[in-house]
Each structure stands twice: as C-alpha cells, then as structure tokens.
Structure 1
Amino acid sequence: MSYSYKKRTISVHDGLNKDKQYGSVVPPIYLTSTYSFSSFNKPRKYDYSRKSNPTRDTVQKVIASLEKGLGCILTNSGMSALYLIIITLLKPGDLIICPNDCYGGSYRLFKSLLYKKIYRVKFITMHNEKQFLLSLTYKPKIIFIESPSNPLLNVIDIAYYCKKIRQSNAISIIDNTLLSPVLQNPLELGSDLVIHSCTKYLNGHSDIISGAIISNNKIFINELLWWANNLGLTNSVFDSYFLLRGIRTLYPRLKIAQENALSIIKYLKKQKLVKKIYHTSLNSNIGHEIAKKQQKGFGAILSFEFNGSKKMLEIFLNSLNLFTLAESFGGVESLISHSATMTHACITKEEMTKAGISHLLLRISVGIEDPKDLIADLDKAFSNAIKDYK
C-alpha cells in the first residue's frame, strides 16, 4: 500500500468551482464509507474512506498549502496526530525530548509512554539553550517543540533549534497550534514536521475535534498516511467538511482576535489583581525578540497570574459572563481557563512548579467580540473579586 503527493501551490480556495456535474461553488461532501470497483481487481482512485476520501483530501491540500508543505495528514484529534508521528517514526526504546511547559495533554501522552516503557522520554526547559544542547548529546530520535508554549507563551528560535536537531540526526516536531499558519510557518524555518490541533484556530468554531500533520518530507508523508489508515486515525468526513468551512475565515478571525488581545493586555496592565502577564508581544516575555523575527504576529492567546487568594480567584471566574470558563482555544468566542485544574490537571504540583506554571495562572483565548464588551466583563469580575472578598 502506498500513497504519494506532488508539490504544488494551493490557496484556501482550492476546491471551489470544481464541481463539473452541477457547478457547486462549495465542494460537495462525500458521505460514503466505500466505493465501487470499476471491475474485478480494478479499484478506482478511492476504495475506502478510512484510507482516503475526496472531502478529506481537499482539506489536506489546503492545510499543506497554508503551512508551505508538500503534504498533510488529517487525524481525528490533535493528540492522535502527535501519537501517529511517534508510532510511525520511532522504535521501542527510542528517546523523545520534550518541553516541561507544553500543553498538559501532550505532557500526559509523553509521560504515559514513559511509564509504559515503550519509549524513553526526557522533559527539559526547552527555551534554556544549554539544556537543549545537552539533550542532543543523549542521541534522541525526536524533539518536540511548542513555540509559543502553552500556557506560558515561551518562544524559542525555531530555525536555530531545527538546524541543531538536524545536525544531530534527530527529527523535529513543531506544534504550531497557538499561532496557526497565518502567523508562523515552521517548515520554512527548518522543521521536519508541523502539527496542529485543528480543533482550535483552523476550525475556529469549537464544534469539531481534528488534528493535522504537515511535512515537506515525502517519505514521512507516505509512511504517516499508511499508518493513519492502518490504525484508523483519520478524521471523519463531516469534520473535514466543517474544517474547510472554518479555514475560509481563518485570516479575518485571527486578525480581530489578535487586535482584541492587545486591547485586553493594555487593560490588564493596570489591574491590581494581575501579577504578571504572558504574551509574545511583551518585552518581558521569554523569546520576545525572537518572536518579532520568526512570527508574523503575536497571536490571541495570553495568560496572567492572578494576584489574590484562591477565594478571590473563584469569585472572579464566577463573575464572568462573556468569557466562558472552558478548556480549548482558538474559537470565535472568548474562553478563560485555570491551567492547574483544567488543561494541566494531569501534571503534579512539583512538575508544574518546575515548568513555572503557577496555581493562580489563567489563560485567555481572546475571541472576536467587541473589545469594549470583553474589557467591561473583566472589569466587573475584578471588582466583584475585591468587593465580595472584603
């Protein structure tokens, strides 16, 4: 069984006006699980939708184009995308290097693989160059990087790190979910593989779960496609259809959300109950100068440490109306999450302390609502936290 991709330039409009039967502007959704053979032992281009489907293929081409890649594999979640890479490219006993400040779900996956003794895993402070260079001497097979990291927004020099990784004969994986292809293209900076939780910005409406892997390495693409079919990790046709619809508004959504984020940061700087703000636009943020060079924008995710008691934090969160207390990010609606009890609940207190994640840390995914309304909502919640606590 083999698959192949040919490199070409594709826009987000790929698939539009291609319906020769009826002239449908929007590409049709193919809700079939199987396809007829033209005759005995003569399969058509598609034979079974777990392996490939016209709707999914259209979206894969669009995402590959956005990330400047040769090919893309859509999976049924962001986590399955990461696992697919590991199970495809590694052998038992191989070493994985990953950041100790990454998304909690990724941390949990690596940690569980370590406990199962399937692979060796070492967590490091990835933005610490000395620790990173030292980790290369351990002969890792894969180095997983988040830049910016989730939730502390730490930035690393992707081009420099990927060059060193390649020189050590390891494989680099960059999680680009927080910025999306609009604001950063790691493949152009030297990454071997880029992953996305398409659940977030690429879809943008908090109504599907999906993941993606993009690469310029044809061998990787073909192997990953084979294993995605083998394991049944490809995403559903409905999710592909909705994902394509979401991608078509990616640019304006992110533009508005990013502008709103900057307005909220300006407001938060003046609040007594805000101890520290994390965002790649800030001079105090780790890797700020690098972000200015390798990113096309600072993004719409920010975090801040609440400067008050646990009770005040509870009052603050319960007083919010426009900001929904929920996990995930990248949707049109504004969300707020408490890392210690939500996205990073699977990590021990000691591990969070080592990563620099405070138990009073809040992460905001800024949506596209009116910024004045968002700030008014925050202002009311801060006031209630101070007033009700007193």
Structure 2
Amino acid sequence: MTLRSVTVLGATGSIGVSTLDVIARHPDLYRVHALTAYQRMDKLAEQAKVFRPAVVVVPDAAARERFLTAWGEAGKAPDVHVGDAALAEIAADPGSDTVMAAIVGAAGLPGALAAARAGKRVLLANKEALVVAGGLFMDAIRDNGAELLPIDSEHNAIFQCLPHHGRAGAPTSPEKSVRKLILTASGGPFRNRTLQELRDVTPAQACAHPNWSMGRKISVDSATMLNKGLEVIEAHWLFAMPPERIKVLVHPQSMIHSMVEYDDGSVLAQLGNPDMRTPIAYGLAFPDRIDAGVGSLDLARIGRLDFEEPDLPRFPCLRLAFEALAAGQTACIALNAANEVAVEAFLCDKLAYMDIANVIESVLNGRAAAASHVDLNTLDGLLAFDADVRRWTQDELVRLSPVHP
C-alpha cells in the first residue's frame, strides 16, 4: 500500500475522532494533511498537536483565536484558514488524495462536493451529499474520476457484500444479479415503547442509543428512524437501486450491518461489532484491509440475532422518507431540511418528540410539495431551496404549538 494523505472534514465529531484513531494505528500508511472543526477548538488543537497537519480550518476569526490559544507554545502552529470557502478549498487541495467527509448536516455538502470534483477518494459519512444533491454529487464522482467509499455502517456493509471491479465509483445501474438491498436498523431506544409513551420522550432519552455512540442530532434521527429513511435515499444513489428494491429490517443487536439479496436466493451479510472504525478502516484501505482496533465478534456470547419489520405508525419518519424518495429530489431536500430544524427545536425543548414527524409531514405536504423552481443542477440552486424549506419549517414550528410557547 502506498502512503495516503488524508483531510478530515469534521475532525472533532465522532466519525472524525474514530478516523484519526485508525490513522494513528498506521503511521506508515497515512499522514494527515488537514483537519477542520466548527466548535471544539480545544479538541482540534489537541488533535493537531498529535497529527501535525499542514492546515486547520475553523469557521471564523473568533474560533481562530480560540484555536491558537489552545495551541499555546506547542511549536509551530499549522496554517489556520477561516470560513466556508476555506473548507471547500481544503477539501479540493492537492495536498491530500483522501477526504473524510464527516461534517453533519447540509453544511457538509460543499466540502464533499469539492472533494469529488477534485477527483479525490471520498470517504462519505455525510448523508446530505446524497439526500440533498444525489444527482449532482454522483455526476461529480463520475465526471472527475473520483472514488466513493460509503462510511455509514449500513452502506459500507452493502458495498462489502457487492462484487467489486477494482475501483469504487458511481454506478449508473444496479449491480447485475442483485435482487434487493436490505438495510438493517437497530430500532433505536424506543423500539418497544407504545405511542402513548413516546409523547413524553425527552432529548436525553432520545440521545441514549442502546448500541452506538453518536452525536445528539444523529441519535435523535436514529430514535425516530428518520436516519434510516435518509439511508434508504442514500442507498438509491450509491447503488443505483430503485426504491422498491430497498428494504428496511429491524435488527436490535446491530451485529448484521446490512445485507444484499441476489437473484439466485443467496443473501450476503456483513457482520461485526458496532464500531465505526471498521467501515472507516475499510474506506481508508480499500481494496485492502487493515487493523481497525476493533475486537472479534463473539457470536456464541451474543447467542441470537433477532429481526422484525419496522413499525411505521411508531416510526412515521421512515414512511415519510420512502414517500419523499418516490416524489423526487426536491421532496428529499425538504425532508432533510425540515428534519434538521425540527430536531434542533426538540433538542432545545421547543418541540415535542412526536411533533418532529408532524412538522416534516406538514412541510412536505405544503409549499415544499409545490416547488417547481428548483435548479437541481447547481449547488447554489439546491442550497437556496434548502434555505427556503428551513424558513417554512420555522413557520410550522410556530403553528404547531411548541412545548414552551
């Protein structure tokens, strides 16, 4: 394996931290070119002291000062670039050949797209690159000879179960002989709660995932299963798979990360402990494999693997995601943007848990459903519509009587 130079977008988040953990295990294979962060400047400085990147990117001048204060007297500091434009520039910078796109939300889209257009190996842990801009992003991968390695555990599992042809690209049709893709879902912390019990769910409860350690926003998305709905949309783009050939199956143990069913009846599954370092290591090393620091899977100790169909009345956000995918790209943008605004309101105790889905559905059925002006071929057009939906969603939050008026 040749030495790879890696840029980590979103270095202080859970995916970024896990990526650096894997890189640290293989100093002969990887070096860090750049790190970016939005908030935790002390953590970013700590990482920079260990990995010595040439560049760090922070959101504004105040963050730059906090980073330099945290850096202190630890020798020559890396170059500190500031702002959104710098984020996209560092993603495309020729100083790295591999970009981990791990910024959560629509804010991560410009960097991921810039990396694709620069022909990089893109390790995609940002859902919005595909949910918001699937066509544009996949065209950028194809047109610029970039590689695309999905990092979400479910899509990485599917990728591992598909035949490979020497390169990770952007297919234009489903893999020959594949009948369906089966995305597994843990069911989150509320899989067995009644609808009545869900009415009083708190942010702390929603963020307490039984199997995975994740950020607050994605933990809530897992609890509502909106996260799995976004993964259905991602799978459609990543594998050129029609929606009717994508299935969701609840698997509480989270040991089977997803499956691929073939025309001959064979089902291939990828299993492993629920640790994001496994898909990260696979993406970094593809087509080889490296030690990720993850322990062996002890199936005898686990004893059993359970499966059940998702309960759509309990998880209406999953239903909404399938409906959005069937409706087209603008509906997918609206689904994602409305969810981000609604989840933030819930985390701030301004919206009841059960109203997250109500807000999204109202937006999808309202002005977003009538959107016909969106330019799907430009990032500016996609982001402008995304901003429109966020404004409409704020209106819905007011109309649906928040928890604390």
Is TM (by shorter chain) over 0.5? Answer: no
Point out the structure with max Rg over C-alpha.
1
Query: Could you tell me the TM-score, scaled by structure 2's length?
Result: 0.35
TM-score by length of 1: 0.36
Structure number with the bigger relative contact order (C-alpha 8 A, sep ≥ 6) is 1
